[in-house]
Amino acid sequence: MTLQRTVQIACLTLFLGLLTSAAFRFVGWLPHDLFLRLDPAAALLTGISARIWLGSFAAALAVLAVTIFLGRFFCGYLCPLGTFIEGVDACICRPVAVQSPIPANWPRWKYGVLVFVVVAALMGLSLAFLFAPIPAMSRFFALVVLPLLQPALDLLLQLAAPLADKFDLTGLLYLQLPLPRFDNQWLMLILMLLILAGGRWHSRLWCRCLCPAGALMALCARRPLIRRRVTEACVECKLCALHCPAGAIGADPRSTSHAECIVCQTCRRVCPTQAVGFSTGHAGETAGHPGFARYRRMLLLSGACGLGTAALTLSGARHLMGDTGTRRITPPELIRPPGARPEDSFLRRCYRCGACLQACPTNTLQPFGLATGLPGWLTPAITPQLGPCDPTCMICGQICPTQAIRELSPGERIWAKVGTAQVLRHKCLAWEFDRKCLVCDEVCPYDAIELKRVPERKAAVPFVDEKRCSGCGFCEHHCPVEAVPAIVVEPMEALRLESGSLRTKARAIGLDLQIRRSRPRPAASDQGPYDAQNDALPPGFSE
């Protein structure tokens, strides 16, 4: 076990531990988004597209600053995606020593990808979720891998139940693990498989040829302070070049492309004469680096593609969902989390890292599909049928690494209106079938639903008071009507501010969002037996 492997395994374990702690809402002394803060590509693209500076971006700049002195240490030691790719490569890839050399121009593609995403970000389209390594890794493990592991852990708990009963471990007997479910898992799996597929032919193909974070660090690591050196003891056996996982050693084993070197020190370990070392100084000059003059056309084409992608995306009809004018269109199922910024700002900031989805205690937050086009793909949206949005929960804003969802105080959270409920009368048991049902009225924490008598109905029918409805989805979640519930929440009149007080704004437009106390139940002696045939109310319900 080498030092590099030890550090890689430790960092991957820490990364997975922080993800798991976020899923179970454990609070530790390390921030759950530690590795997200270290990703320079995610920080750069988000900062440019949203025109903001966040304090968490300082960690990513620190990584680039250290790269100037130590080389691409992050890629070789700290990056959890790089470690994961290496592990998969070891299973599916041919040994490095017998691989055919990667074409010399392929490593330049990552600079084209970097230019592509930077130009798109300058136009206001953030593609960090597609190309930045840490958001991709976080999303894959949080929304695909962990949900698969949790049923396995639940099975282990069931198998351990006899032992727990024998040793009187009652806490273990009643322990239940949350089993969240997420949509679009196949799409997230396909994205990760595309990243891993290159390892079938060349080791770390993604890192070497496509990763924009790798391109940023390569630009900073062209002449690091600590670099590879080769002494006169070299016999030119070229074992170092054959085993280099990054392809940083050329035909001359004494030369090194430091922009590609990930400081893994594999060359030092395989050298039979111990002629290779890493130290300060100028020994081991950089391999012939042609600069970017020869790739000017490729870089210009990449910039043009980024410009065209952003222009086509942002000028499409789906982008009108962020328009503040009368043309605004929004899918009825797109209900953003409480505290979400206005749509355009929200899309520019969101990493699609899955942190808020994973931490949501009711599993109502789900990755959104392509109904809003590429900009809204995999962004979080409330799905009331899966679970309601608890009006006292603020975890999505607390856990968001870019503050695409604002962190709200308890007093502000209550006023974060995400939508408005509406009754579908053609499906409602009371409206359509004239049957007594008051589930929506009983579960509403804001008391926004009133049951009223109308001349054409014997049973009281529900009406929604829009001024008191926050769109929390309790009514939709608990509605007994199958398929599409008889009461649904849409993002109508959602309150989303870039800054300022939600309470002040809500009161200014006439909202009255207060959590109501439960109304008194009738005494047991006043309740008659439940008569299903006459549609009598079940015990504990009142009109």
Q: Does pLDDT of 238 surpass 50?
A: yes
Q: Does pLDDT of 328 surpass 70?
A: no
Q: Tokens standing for 23?
A: 């899923």
> In angstroms, how far is the first alpha carbon of the chain from the final one?
71
Residue 10: left (phi > 0), alpha (psi -120 to 50), or beta?
alpha
Q: Does pLDDT of 327 surpass 70?
A: no
Torsion of CA 117, 122, 123, 128, to 10 degrees: 40
Phi, psi of 318 (to 5 degrees): -65, -25
* Residue 402 confidence class, pLDDT cut points 50, 70, 90: very high
What's the pLDDT score for residue 99?
60
Residue indicated by tokens 């592509």: 116
Q: Which of 25-29, 136-140, 337-341 has the lowest mean pLDDT?
A: 25-29
**Nearest by Cα to 415 from 472, 347, 361:** 472
**Nearest by Cα to 88 from 246, 245, 198:** 198
The pLDDT > 90 percentage for the chain reads: 51
What's the pLDDT score for residue 95?
62
Q: Are 396 and 360 contacting, i.e. CB atoms less than 8 angstroms apart?
A: yes
* Residue 521 confidence class, pLDDT cut points 50, 70, 90: very low
Residue indicated by tokens 């599409």: 484
| Rounded average pLDDT over 488-510 | 93
Longest dimension (CA), the chain: 101
Q: Does pLDDT of 538 surpass 50?
A: no
| Topology alike, domains 226-288 and 413-516 | yes
Q: Does pLDDT of 288 surpass 70?
A: no
Phi, psi of 409 (to 5 degrees): -75, 160
Phi, psi of 423 (to 5 degrees): -90, 130
Distances (CA, A) of 480 to 422, 459, 485: 15, 16, 7
* Residue 201 confidence class, pLDDT cut points 50, 70, 90: confident
**Nearest by Cα to 353 from 89, 85, 42, 96:** 42
Cα–Cα distance between 259 and 218 in angstroms, integer?
4
What's the pLDDT score for residue 531?
41
Residue type, 309: T
* Residue 526 confidence class, pLDDT cut points 50, 70, 90: very low
pLDDT, greater one: 247 or 14? 14
What's the pLDDT score for residue 65?
93
The Cβ-side half-sphere exposure at 11, using a 13 Å CA radius, reads: 23
Q: Tokens standing for 477?
A: 């979640």
Q: Which H/E stretch holds residue 487?
A: strand 487-490
Residues, the chain, total? 543
Domain 226-288 in CATH 3.30.499.10: no
What's the pLDDT score for residue 530?
35
Bridge partner residues of 75 (DSSP): none
Return the CA Rg of the chain. Answer: 28
Q: Tokens standing for 411?
A: 């007093």
Q: Which H/E stretch holds residue 38?
A: helix 34-38
* Residue 55 DSSP SS3: coil
Contacts of 484 (CB under 8 A, 6+ apart): 424, 427
pLDDT digits (tens, 9 = 90+) for 439-470: 999 999 999 999 999 988 888 999 999 999 99
Torsion of CA 230, 275, 70, 117, to 10 degrees: 70
* Residue 293 confidence class, pLDDT cut points 50, 70, 90: low
Phi, psi of 160 (to 5 degrees): -85, -5
The pLDDT > 70 percentage for the chain reads: 87
Angle between helices 40-50 and 109-122 (to 10 degrees): 30
Residue indicated by tokens 């319900």: 541
Q: Are 473 and 333 contacting, i.e. CB atoms less than 8 angstroms apart?
A: no
Domain 413-516 top-level CATH class: alpha beta
What's the pLDDT score for residue 409?
92
Cα–Cα distance between 397 and 405 in angstroms, integer?
5
Q: Which H/E stretch holds residue 279?
A: strand 276-280
Phi, psi of 169 (to 5 degrees): -95, 75
What's the pLDDT score for residue 388?
94
| Rounded average pLDDT over 380-387 | 94
pLDDT digits (tens, 9 = 90+) for 3-22: 889 999 999 999 999 988 88
Q: Which of 34-48, 253-267, 322-336 has the lowest mean pLDDT?
A: 322-336
Q: Are 42 and 355 contacting, i.e. CB atoms less than 8 angstroms apart?
A: no
Phi, psi of 190 (to 5 degrees): -65, -40
* Residue 319 confidence class, pLDDT cut points 50, 70, 90: low
* Residue 354 DSSP SS3: coil
Q: Are 117 and 128 contacting, i.e. CB atoms less than 8 angstroms apart?
A: yes
Number of H helices, E strands in the chain: 26, 8
Q: Which of 135-144, 179-188, 292-301 has the lowest mean pLDDT?
A: 292-301
Q: Tokens standing for 148?
A: 């698969």
Burial class (CB within 10 angstroms; exposed 0-12, middle 13-18, buried 19+) of 264: buried
Q: Tokens standing for 204?
A: 């770390």
Sequence spans of domains, the chain: 3-222, 226-288, 317-393, 413-516
Mean of the per-residue pLDDT values of the chain = 85
Distances (CA, A) of 219 to 71, 222, 289, 293: 10, 6, 12, 15
Q: Does pLDDT of 543 surpass 70?
A: no
What's the pLDDT score for residue 224?
87
pLDDT digits (tens, 9 = 90+) for 49-101: 999 988 888 999 999 999 999 889 999 999 999 999 988 988 877 665 556 67
Cα–Cα distance between 364 and 384 in angstroms, integer?
6
**Nearest by Cα to 403 from 17, 138, 50, 28:** 50
Residue type, 40: P
Contacts of 14 (CB under 8 A, 6+ apart): 30, 34
Q: Does pLDDT of 26 surpass 70?
A: yes
What's the pLDDT score for residue 540?
43
Cα–Cα distance between 119 and 302 in angstroms, integer?
9
